[in-house]
């Protein structure tokens, strides 16, 4: 059993950003790079588990746990630590940008061989509130669920579009033939990333189909 007198580092709030906490690389900050350990092949004891964290501490927990794995020589028991995220395209003020969104806020996935020692190292990492499971014993994730999460994280998956628009909303056209015109949204098609806007043109209301990136909310 890992000695319980090991002190936890003081918990500090994580930034509001959803981006992953960078791990220091030797030569940048003078610290040794913390590498993801590789699991042994075909070990039936190796499974994925879910841990619950304080709100917005997912990346902090990942970094803390990786350091504990290295300092306590647990590379043969705890392998990968993952904060599930997916890319999402967000339109803001007529501009398109790609952001990282946490798929399961408040949760971190850990690939490990469950023993008393490995349980203690994970459970007592700063920011961790416990393992997810119906009882005292942690429950591993089914393989199909792990594959589903990895698919969500895959770069080959289509990016999800996000724009807070609704029918009746006043918008301004920022690009195209109707640039600088104002209009009211008549229809929103999230699948095609388009809207139909009623624009006053030549003395009458004219419906115009525009891309999300061509408008901004007023």
Question: pLDDT value at position 47?
Answer: 92
**Which residues of the chain register pLDDT less than 70?**
1-43, 94, 154-163
pLDDT of residue 62: 95
Q: Is 170 exposed, middle or buried (0-12, 13-18, 19+ CB in 10 A)?
A: exposed
**Residues 87, 154 contacting (CB under 8 angstroms):** no
For residue 152, the model assigns a pLDDT of 76
Residues 153/178, Cβ–Cβ less than 8 Å: no
142 and 168 within one domain: no
Predicted local distance difference test score (pLDDT) of residue 163: 63
Is the same domain home to 154 and 50?
yes
Q: Are residues 69 and 172 in the same domain?
A: no
In the chain, the number of structural domains is 2
User: Hey, is 71 helix, strand or coil?
Assistant: helix
**Residue 195 is part of which domain span?**
163-217
Mark whether 88 and 130 lie in a shared domain.
yes
Element spanning 187, H or E: strand 182-189
Q: Which residues contact 52 (CB under 8 A, 6 or more apart)?
A: 106, 107, 128, 129, 130, 131, 132
Task: Note the pLDDT of residue 58.
Answer: 94
The backbone torsions φ and ψ at residue 91, rounded to the nearest 5 degrees and listed phi first, read -100, 125
pLDDT on residue 162 = 56
* pLDDT for res 19: 42
pLDDT score for 92: 72
Q: Dihedral of the CA atoms 209, 188, 102, 133 (nearest 10)?
A: -150
Can you give the pLDDT at residue 69? 94
Q: What is the pLDDT of residue 113?
A: 92
CATH (domain of 149): 3.30.70.940
Looking at the fold, whether 112 and 200 belong to one and the same domain comes out as no
């Amino acid at each position: 059993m890992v000695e319980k007198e090991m002190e936890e580092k003081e918990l500090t709030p994580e930034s509001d950003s959803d981006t992953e906490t960078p791990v220091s690389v030797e030569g940048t900050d003078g610290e040794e790079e913390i590498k993801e350990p590789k699991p042994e092949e075909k070990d039936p004891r190796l499974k994925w588990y879910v841990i619950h964290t304080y709100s917005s501490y997912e990346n902090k927990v990942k970094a803390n746990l990786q350091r504990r794995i290295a300092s306590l020589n647990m590379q043969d028991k705890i392998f990968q630590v993952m904060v599930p995220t997916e890319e999402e395209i967000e339109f803001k003020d007529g501009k398109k940008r790609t952001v990282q969104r946490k798929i399961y806020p408040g949760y971190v996935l850990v690939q490990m061989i469950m023993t008393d020692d490995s349980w203690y190292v994970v459970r007592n990492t700063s920011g961790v509130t416990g393992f997810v499971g119906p009882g005292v014993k942690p429950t591993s994730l089914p393989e199909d669920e792990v594959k589903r999460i990895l698919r969500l994280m895959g770069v080959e998956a289509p990016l999800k579009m996000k724009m807070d628009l609704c029918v009746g909303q006043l918008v301004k056209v920022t690009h195209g033939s109707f640039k600088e015109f104002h209009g009211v949204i008549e229809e929103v098609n999230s699948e095609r990333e388009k809207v139909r806007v009623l624009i006053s043109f030549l003395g009458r209301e004219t419906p115009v189909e525009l891309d999300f990136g061509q408008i901004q909310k007023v």
